[in-house]
Chain A
Amino acid sequence: MTESDGGRGWFERAGSADPADAAETVTAGTAEEPRDWPALAVERGYVDAESEYYDRLREATTAAARAAAAERERADDRQLLHAVRAMDDAERVANELAERVAEWAGTLFPDAGTGVEGCLDLAERDPDGPVEERVVSLASRVADLDREADELRAFIESRAPVAAPNLASMAGPVLAARLISLAGGLETLAKKPSGTLQVLGAEDALFAHLRGHGSSPKHGVIYTHEYVRGTRPEDRGSASRALAGKLTIAARIDHYAGDRRPELEAELNERIRTIRARAEDGDAGGDGGGSDE
């Protein structure tokens, strides 16, 4: 037993009889060695009997576990937010740098390709002389960034289903992470109306519309979802509304409950099937005929 612990149990550190304080000490407290806490709690006057001790213990441990689980999950969605932003940065920088490499390499290697692909190829070459050395080295930085972006994507693909199981399954892990990132977290996403989720990522277009230029955007990043992109233009508004509606519910379940609800996905699939069936019926579409692009 260490001196600093003084052999104090969770119940002796709580500042008050308030269950929230007790839960806090369950979470944050430490001791080197266990002791006969139930007997000590009676002996030290915290409770009158061991049965009462276990009642209090149960209150404190369940409250602590509930709070700690919620907090750790929040921390998970923060990690996703950073990862998806980092992935986008890595891709953007790789592309910018690849343009510079292509321009420079064009003066040295007549067969040099362009873009990130071109860099992957250049990075493998044996440079001849100090100039080629610089270009090949720069190309290998692009290749590294490209690999890092891939690894970040893999990280997102493994983490999103844990942090937001329903959202990740319906939106796909990367789009789920993007939505969380654009909203600033799973909790804020869960609190947004579906009309807002629908245009997340289209802020520029939305502001232009509000200033009187351009039409109101029908979708933001959810445009990348197959259910929107793969639907004919005149039905895309309906598709993105339907998708946004279900993703909003998914985000709420993920934030507040955390269990998988496959039926939600089934409902979405059914809804999209109905919308796409309009095309076969020769219907003019349900979006007032506006084009979406």
Chain B
Amino acid sequence: MSDDGIAGDADREPDGSLPAGVSRRRVDGDDRLCTRGEPVYGEPTDGEWRAWDAGRSKLGGMLELGMETGLVGGETALYLGAANGTTVGHVADFAGPTYAVEFSPRPVRDLLDVCESRSNLFPLLKDARRPETYAHVVEADCDVLVQDVATRGQADVAARNRRFLADDGRLLLAVKARSEDVAAAPEAVFETVLAELRETYEVLETRRLDRFHDDHLGVVATPR
């Protein structure tokens, strides 16, 4: 383990919002968010830690920006829009049982590779707009619902999947403005999405993710 006096629990103060199992470490000369697990996309590693690239991951961006995700490590997680598993692999590194929903068959092959080395990661080739097609598999009272579906109707997807979340659970949502309306100003799109979201969730925090992802809004919310 590299010890430049950066990692280690005593020094976690500035990153008080990082869950156990996620740590800021020096990798390849840079300070990087890291989790412990098999590398999956050629990311740099330091011993058993692998860098979590916030530029490739909305949740990584939310953590980098210090958003209060409420994550502590070990939670039961439902992840919507898993794609090739880049982010959900990191989630499975620090969380407990992790359900990964993705509806496009092409990235699922890569996702299966990520699952290979993670016994707590369960892939589901399903449409997130139809939770009844996976409610017989995903357990009730998940601690966290992560959503990054980049499709029209992002607030609606979050509302439909409310049923999986414990009453005190957290929704960690990345809203992509262009998925809702390519022409409209992102701020206007975010307002509309948040208004719809507030029908089922209480919004705790929002933050533009532009430093890592153009025209994306990070949202932390809890069921109403």
List residues of A (3-36) whose CB comes within 8 Å of B's CBs: 5, 8-10, 13, 25-27, 29-36
Q: Among A51-59, A214-222, A263-271, which stretch is in contact with chain B?
A: A51-59
Q: Which of B121, B123, B132, B136 contacts A10 (CB 8 A)?
A: B136
Dominant SS among interface residues on chain A:
helix
**Quick check: is A259 within 8 A (CB to CB) of the other chain?**
yes
CB distance from A59 to the nearest CB of B (A): 10
User: Chain B's interface: helix, strand, loop or mixed, by majority?
Assistant: mixed
Q: Which residue of B lies closest to A57 (CB)?
A: B122
Contacts of B203 in A (CB 8 A): none
Q: Chain A contacts of B123 at CB under 8 A?
A: 61-62, 65
Given contacts A10-B137, A33-B163, contact A58 B132 (CB under 8 A): no
Q: A34-B138, A36-B139, A69-B125 are in contact. Are A258 and B106 (CB under 8 A)?
A: yes
Contact A34 B164 (CB under 8 A): yes
Interface size for chain B: under 10, 10 to 19, 20 to 34, or 35 or more residues?
20 to 34
A70 to B: closest C-beta gap in Å: 8
Give complex CA distance A70, B112 in Å.
12
> In the complex, A35 Cα to B134 Cα: how many Å?
11
Chain A min CB distance to B175 (Å): 24
Taking a contact as CB atoms under 8 Å apart, the answer to whether B132 and A31 are in contact is yes
Does A68 have its Cβ within 8 Å of any Cβ on chain B? yes
Partner of A35, one of B110, B122, B139: B139
- Is the CB of A97 closer than 8 A to any CB of chain B? no
Q: Given A34-B139, A34-B140, are A65 and B111 neighbors across the interface (CB < 8 Å)?
A: yes
> B68 in the interface, Cβ–Cβ < 8 Å?
no
List 23 A-B pairs, Cβ < 8 Å: A10-B136, A10-B137, A13-B136, A25-B136, A27-B125, A29-B137, A30-B132, A30-B133, A31-B132, A32-B135, A34-B163, A36-B141, A37-B137, A38-B139, A54-B120, A55-B119, A62-B123, A64-B125, A65-B124, A68-B125, A69-B106, A69-B108, A72-B125
Residue numbers of A with Cβ under 8 A of B are: 5, 8-10, 13, 25-27, 29-38, 54-55, 57-58, 61-62, 64-66, 68-70, 72-73, 76, 162, 257-259
| Chain B residues within CB distance 8 Å of chain A | 97, 105-106, 108-112, 115, 119-125, 132-133, 135-141, 163-164
